[in-house]
Chain A
Amino acid sequence: MADDVWILGIHMTKFGKHPDKDTVDLACEAGMGALADGGVTMRDMGILAAGNLMGGPGSIGQMIQKQMGQTGIPVYNVANACATGATALRTAIMAVKAGECDAGLAVGVEKLAGAGLLAGGARGKDSDEWTPRGRYGAVAPVDGRIGTETMPGVFAQIGMEYGHKYGGVDFELFAKISEKNHAHSTLNPLASYQKRFTLEEIMNDVMIAYPNTRPMCSANCDGAAAAVVVSNAKLKSMPLAQQKRAVKISASVLTTDPWEEACQILPNVNTLTRNAAKQAYESAGVGPDDLDLVELHDCFATAELVHYDNLGLCEEGGAADYFRSGATWRDGRMPVNVSGGLESKGHPIAATGIANIWEICHHLRGEAGDRQIENARVGLAHVIGLGSACGVHILERSAA
């Protein structure tokens, strides 16, 4: 199709600890890597979309330009919680689709190594005078007094709620999901952790928020990822070798959470994911059965379970049985998070929504080395940012 948009080049840094690189250095490593991978330069780019969520230097896009090429193009600094990377990518895709330019660069970067709880990690002191403040008229901080604001706790409840609704879910099931992803990461040299854990080790590790123990939580780490997207016309002007490695963006969808009872109490990560998946499948003209691999947002083991269902990989209510069938292991019929996922590859927040695309592209190009999913033709990448935002991209191997 004439208006198809393609990923021409893509790169991710090693996820982990990068004490000798600052946020901008990491972003540039990913950005320059993506340009080189696509055989283009900053001169070819018509837009730069960049995201950095937590405590970065601000205006990350302009700071990147100053380190790798100031050409005067528009910069969009985006923020969308854990969906920031996917939002940056989609911003570049939309600019190309709108005909404003024929090539764009999207970058996501974060430095989080050593960070603890990102939400609910600090609570204000009680004042010496009870004065109602804020939208709830609270006289004192409520975290820990009226539920929890910590992400491991919020996502634990999301998994437990699924179990309550459909049954067949327990602590061990969630731990087994984590066991899978840690096992997968042993084949990913760019993962933060490449250590296999036994089920016992996972269940007996430090409890963070039941049923999520430490290895069942996403790993805070440093990392960046970047992608170059181009129009169909631009792709056709590229050497055949580049055209063969290009990956088609068959769907790029972003949704937010529609109002539902209870969404003011516990974020509903289900409906917006279901809506995004439905739109993406329609847009791409494929269904879940056509997918060869999926990278989904396993920010906690409890989250991965519900997204099997939300992405339509299994029947409604059937996520526990689906996992127990072995389907989502890398040798199953629907490999999920063969990168190791956020629990083991790591979750440098704004990079995550491009890093999962990188993983899919690697398999579609047949360049994933030891962890290659053979003959992968179609893949899906999913991210959730609480608040909420959901990004779903469906990618297809080039026919060239």
Chain B
Amino acid sequence: MPQQIPLVDYLALSPEPHLVAHECTACGARYFDHRNACANCFATEFRDASVATTGELRAFTIVSLAAPGIPVPFVAGVIDCGGTSVRANVVNIEPDADHVHVGMKVRLATQPVGVDAAGTEAIGFGFEPLERDPGVAER
């Protein structure tokens, strides 16, 4: 099995894929990027916090025009994972308004991004429908 690396450092690949937020120890605010201080309460201590791997799609768009090299159309959205909002693509779904709707239940899914010159595979993530529409082909 080739060596793997997550697309972003807040994606943990083991033991099961999940997202890890930096949680302010004083107020509980969560961040996926590295912060100098908490934007909410200005405290400077953070701890790792696992984010729920299932959630509800709170907002989405279907992007048809993007930078060259980005496959379109794709679904981008905001997923409420047990009170922590996550930005991600919605994957394994037909990218049209008949199939994607706000309020739908989704779960974390990993996807290969590519392999670099050293043979390391980058792994990204998206969210897929919790209940797979049997008529939808795997994308």
Q: How many A-B residue pairs have CB under 8 A?
A: 160
Q: Are B59 and A161 in contact (CB under 8 A)?
A: yes
Per the 8 Å Cβ criterion, residues 170-194 of A in contact with B are 171
Say whether, besides A161-B59, A266-B78, A259 and B7 are in contact (CB < 8 Å). no
Check if A399 is an interface residue, CB within 8 A of chain B.
no
Check if B39 is an interface residue, CB within 8 A of chain A.
yes
Say whether, besides A137-B9, A259-B39, A143 and B114 are in contact (CB < 8 Å). no
Q: Can you list, as one digit per residue, whether each of B44-71 has a CB less than 8 Å from chain A (1) or not (0)?
A: 0000000000000011111111111111
Check if A146 is an interface residue, CB within 8 A of chain B.
yes
Check if A142 is an interface residue, CB within 8 A of chain B.
yes
| Smallest CB gap from A165: residue in B | B58
CB distance from B19 to the nearest CB of A (A): 11
Q: Are B59 and A117 in contact (CB under 8 A)?
A: no
Q: Which listed residue, B8, B85, B118, B120, touches A137 by the CB 8 Å rule? A: B8
CB distance from A213 to the nearest CB of B (A): 9
CB distance from A128 to the nearest CB of B (A): 4
Check if B138 is an interface residue, CB within 8 A of chain A.
no
Q: Are B76 and A153 in contact (CB under 8 A)?
A: yes
Q: Are B29 and A123 in contact (CB under 8 A)?
A: no
Per the 8 Å Cβ criterion, residues 72-118 of B in contact with A are 73-74, 76-78, 83-89, 97, 102-103, 113-114, 116-118
| Smallest CB gap from B35: residue in A | A135
Q: Are B39 and A146 in contact (CB under 8 A)?
A: no
| Smallest CB gap from A266: residue in B | B78
| Smallest CB gap from B121: residue in A | A130
Chain A residues with Cβ under 8 A from B83's Cβ?
261
Q: Are A135 and B33 in contact (CB under 8 A)?
A: yes
Q: Are A157 and B60 in contact (CB under 8 A)?
A: yes
- How many residues in A have their beta carbons less than 8 Å from beta carbons of B? 50
Check if A139 is an interface residue, CB within 8 A of chain B.
yes
Q: How large is the interface on B (under 10, 10 to 19, 20 to 34, 35 or more residues)?
A: 35 or more
Chain A residues with Cβ under 8 A from B89's Cβ?
144-147
Q: Can you list, as one digit per residue, whether each of A112-155 has a CB less than 8 Å from chain B (1) or not (0)?
A: 00000100111101111110100111111011111110101110
Per the 8 Å Cβ criterion, residues 286-342 of A in contact with B are none
Bound form: Cα–Cα A329–B22 in Å: 46
Q: Are A265 and B78 in contact (CB under 8 A)?
A: yes
Say whether, besides A140-B7, A146-B87, A147-B88, A209 and B33 are in contact (CB < 8 Å). no
Q: Are A142 and B63 in contact (CB under 8 A)?
A: no
Q: Are B62 and A161 in contact (CB under 8 A)?
A: no
| Smallest CB gap from A169: residue in B | B102
Bound form: Cα–Cα A122–B69 in Å: 9
Chain B residues with Cβ under 8 A from A75's Cβ?
none
Check if B5 is an interface residue, CB within 8 A of chain A.
yes
* B interface residues, Cβ below 8 angstroms from A: 5-10, 29-34, 39-40, 58-71, 73-74, 76-78, 83-89, 97, 102-103, 113-114, 116-118, 120, 122, 124-125
12 inter-chain pairs at a CB distance below 8 angstroms, sorted by A residue, are A126-B114, A130-B116, A140-B113, A140-B114, A144-B70, A146-B8, A157-B77, A161-B59, A210-B97, A212-B61, A266-B59, A266-B78
The list of the 9 closest CB pairs from A to B, nearest first, reads A137-B9, A144-B70, A156-B61, A262-B85, A161-B59, A164-B102, A210-B62, A135-B33, A123-B67
